[in-house]
Structure 1
């Protein structure tokens, strides 16, 4: 076996390995870019205004959570908007705190349902 030929084969193998790793890195970077673009398109952008009523997502870990218990607390009043999506909320008692804007959603209250009259019919009377 010729030593120069063996050394050349070894260098060619190392070069092929480097090319393979570089191509894998490029493919991985393209995949990550595509997935980020897809994810960013799926995120809903909420536009909040000062004075809006919002609900706050309760992400606290609970040992025995209720299945039917709502994970949204509130409503809270939006008092101030900060750059980068932070929002200052105010409770009914007047306490203020800041939260990430992705943890809140608009609260739609039904004014008609509060004044709605419910009629009851007993089956014995019909």
Structure 2
């Protein structure tokens, strides 16, 4: 009997227009958050594209696959940034200057 009374009380307190308005507000908030996230990701990708526009020189290799890069076309050769080594691709365009070391072995 208590269960039926509680259900009847809930049924009489139920207002479909309030529920509908609440649900509509929640959907609008969700859509607003989605649009904000989309705009943020688009601007972040544009920033990355401007930074990654050409061949770079590897300045140093750090532990756990981190690589420090330098842009040879930049005015400031001291400015560098660290990236994940797995994100790098081999440069396949044109000739690349290769440095070689020659060591002469001498008998003691």
Q: Which has the higher contact order (CA 8 A, sep 6+)?
A: 1
Which is richer in helix? 2
Could you say whether these structures have the same fold, taking a TM-score greater than 0.5 normalized by the shorter chain as the test?
no
Instruction: Give the structure-2-normalised TM-score.
Output: 0.43
Which is richer in strand? 1
